[in-house]
A = this chain, B = another copy of it.
Amino acid sequence: MRNSENRPRRSRGRLGVWLIGARGQVATCIIAGAAAIRRGLADRTGLVTALPELAGLDLAPVEELVFGGHEIRSWSLRDSAAEINRRAGSLSRELNRAVARDLDAADRNVALGTALGCGPTIRKLAGARQLPEDGRPLARLVDGLRRDLEQFRRKNRLDRLVMVNVASTEPVGEAPRCGVSLAAFRRALAANRREPNLAAAQLYAYVALEAGIPYVNFTPSVASEIPALLELAELQGLPHAGKDGKTGETLVKSALAPMFAARNLDVLSWEGHNLLGNLDGLVLDDPRSNAVKAASKEKLLRQVLGATSPNLHSRVRIDYCPSVDDWKIAWDFVHFRGFLGTKMILQFIWQGCDSMLAAPLVLDLARLVDLAARRGERGLQTQLACFFKNPLGATKHGLGEQFADLLAYARAAAPAWGRD
């Protein structure tokens, strides 16, 4: 998976970060946050790449990232920032004022995206406006998306791009039939064959990889993991990573579940209840999106606890609760059996500001996948497993061992340690 040279091209030059869902809450916090750091108004708390252990890596500076992206909603980034301030309070009015021009600059880089296959709940976000897929064949739709990226690069004189999907969860749980191979996928596009499971996230990933752009899927939607796109990434020699950013309840689970395994405790039940109030929550009120999300969250436990907890019963509930806005509340009830069959209980309650947990991780991933590309690494980047609920290509699911992998990668990739 890693190239033999391990000598990254230098990070000089400008890196553009193309966000799918470019005016959503996560994107707004990313763009506002990077601007706040550039302006010296915020520190780097929450950025994994700011840890001393990763200091040796030749990463693109957060201060110099340029943002753009696809979006189907018509409001502005300023509107979105104001809304976050008004509802969750996590972006202060002072900060929003200080970065207003940065938000505007990014806004000028936002192009109209697609909601192909995203179902009515997501489609509603676009209001009455026509989207590219309406009455346009798929091949032209894809061409349009590609041109948006080219224009972003040209207009901003960017040297390199990465694409990160931070859009709403699509209600599609399976790969499309045409995803079985790159050839079949291309034939479907050419023939304008709109299978039900062919959806926006895949088109975006296809456009990125075809254009030589590393790709990160921060959502649970089905994207670069379909065979067609695995093939394309390999063909293009590009790194990609996913999926579903590990920001809250699952993060805690991936830290706690290995504890039970390491103590040979038999977890009988692990029941999780999540409350969400933001747009993410509204979209997850759609039972299909909800099922995709819940499935993404449930894998971890069986993988970590399979050997020691053969009878594990687990369930993940995700409910929309408008008043909590961008705050995600999770209660987990863990019932386990110890020595001589004694039953015991661990419960936790998580109260996290979702976008503020996601935003720095997206900055991390953009920088790390860009580094991987410069180092010539291709395919699924398993050293990034600690960032994802559902780490594609990875076999480790405990947070500790995933993080150890990232540190080992960092030691190997740091010029100071490197063999170059």
Contact = CB atoms under 8 A, between A and B. Distances in A.
A348 B332 CA distance: 9
A252 B256 contact: yes
Contacts of A403: 258, 262
Interface in A333-348: 333, 335, 337-348
A340 B29 contact: yes
Contacts of A347: 331, 348-349
Given A275-B333, A338-B357, A268 B323 contact: yes
Interface size class of A (residues with CB under 8 A): 35 or more
A201 to B, nearest CB: 25
A321 B353 contact: no
Main secondary structure of the interface of A (DSSP, over half): mixed
Contacts of A42: 339-341
Contact of A264 (B44, B265, B351): B44
Interface string A308-323: 1000010101010111
Contacts of A317: 273, 317, 319
Interface string A42-80: 111111101110000000000000000000000000000
Interface string A74-106: 000000000000000111011100000000000
A144 B65 CA distance: 64
A112 interface: no
A353 to B, nearest CB: 5
A167 interface: no
A401 B399 contact: no
A404 interface: yes
21 contacts: A44-B264, A45-B339, A93-B94, A95-B340, A251-B259, A252-B346, A258-B399, A258-B400, A262-B386, A313-B323, A315-B319, A321-B333, A323-B335, A323-B343, A339-B359, A340-B356, A345-B349, A348-B348, A399-B400, A400-B400, A401-B404
